[in-house]
Structure 1
C-alpha cells in the first residue's frame, strides 16, 4: 500500500508525516470520529469516495493536488497519456528556462486579437489550435 485515501477528515498529521505514509483526505481535525456510521455489507470490497465507487480492480494515483481513480483495465492507456502530458510540460518548461515565455509559446497576443473578433473564443480553444494544450 502506497498511501491512504479518505473521503473525510484525518487526524495525527505530524505522526502520519513522520512515518512517511501519504494520506489524501478532505482535511484534518484534531478529534477522532464523533460518530460511528453503519457500514455497507461490501465495505471491505469497495469504497465510496464522494460520488465514485472504487474497488479492488481500480488503481489510485495521488499527489499534492489530489487523487485520481482509474479502472485497472485503462492503466496502459492512462500511462501513455500521462507520459505525453509530462513530456509536453517538460518541453514547455525547458523553453521557458531558455528565455521563451509561456505567454509567447502559447501565442497569447494572437489569442487576444482573435478574441477581440470572436468574444466566444476561450483560451482553452485557442491553445488547442496552437498545440499548447497539455491534456490533449
Structure 2
C-alpha cells in the first residue's frame, strides 16, 4: 500500500480501532510502550517504518533519509536511553524537508520549542538538554531494523500514531487490518449514537442474557459480543 493510500485508508481510524482489529484477526498487537508520548497533542500519522539505530552520531539519520520515501516515519532506536537526547531541531527539520511524516524515538529529544515551530510530529520518552557524548561503532545493519520497547520493527512494518500512542502493523496485512478496524469504528459510533438517544449499552449488548449464558454455559463476554456483532472490547 503506497503512502497516499495509507493516508486515505487510515484517515479516520485510531490506534485503539487498529489494536482491536489486530486482536480480532489474531495478529500480534505491537504497541509502543506508554512511556513513549507525543511532544504535543492532535497528532495523527500513518506511514512505513524507516528504522535507524543510533550510536552517538546523527549521520545514521541522514543516511536513513536516502532510503526513505514521502510519508515514512523515522523510527529511532536509542535503546531507551534517558541520559542523552539523540534528536534535535536540525535533524527534525531535515526529516520534515525530506517529506517524512514523523519521528518516533525510543529515547529522548531536545530543542522542544524549535521542534514545536517545525511542526513535525515527534514521539519520544521525553526531553533532555544534553546530547550524546559517546560515539560507538555503527552496526552494519543499523538501517535494517530498530527496537521500540520489546518490539523489533523493519521497513516491512507500518506505524500508526495518534494521541493514544503508536501501534506497529505488518505492511502485508494493513488492508485487512483497516477493513476490520473500520467496522469496529462504525459499530462503536452506531452504539454511541443509540446510547445518546436513550438505549443503554447494557440493553444493546443484552447484558442480562450474557450473565445467564455465562453462568449456564461458561460463555465469555467476548464470545457474547461476537455473537451480537457488537463492539466495546476487541
The two structures share one fold, judged by TM-score above 0.5: yes
Matched, 1:129 2:129: no
Are the aligned partners of 2:103 and 2:122 in contact in 1 as well (CA < 8 Å)?
Answer: yes
Distance across 1 between alignment mates of 2:146 and 2:217: 44
Gaps of 5+ in 1: none
> Where do residues 30-41 of structure 1 align in structure 2 (5 Å cutoff)?
30-33=128-131, 36=134, 38=136, 39-41=138-140
TM-score, structure 1 length as denominator?
Answer: 0.74
RMSD of Structure 2 on Structure 1 (CA) = 2.9
SS at the partner of 1:24? Answer: strand
Matched, 1:5 2:104: yes
TM-score, structure 2 length as denominator?
Answer: 0.47
Q: 1:18 to 1:99 in 2, by over 3 A?
A: farther
Gaps of 5+ in 2: 1-99
Distance across 1 between alignment mates of 2:213 and 2:189: 27
Matched, 1:107 2:206: yes
Q: 1:122 to 1:3 in 2, by over 3 A?
A: same
Quote the offset at 1:97 in angstroms. 2.1
Structure 2 partner of 1:75: 174
Distance across 1 between alignment mates of 2:200 and 2:154: 43
Aligned residues: 134
Distance across 2 between alignment mates of 1:87 and 1:52: 29
Are the aligned partners of 2:108 and 2:128 in contact in 1 as well (CA < 8 Å)?
Answer: no
Are the aligned partners of 2:222 and 2:233 in contact in 1 as well (CA < 8 Å)?
Answer: no
Q: Deviations over 1:75-131 (max 9, x none)?
A: 22122122111211121122122221222212222233334x259543323322332
- Larger deviation, residues 65-74 vs 105-114: 105-114
Matched, 1:60 2:159: yes
Distance across 2 between alignment mates of 1:35 and 1:113: 64
Distance across 2 between alignment mates of 1:78 and 1:66: 18
Matched, 1:87 2:186: yes
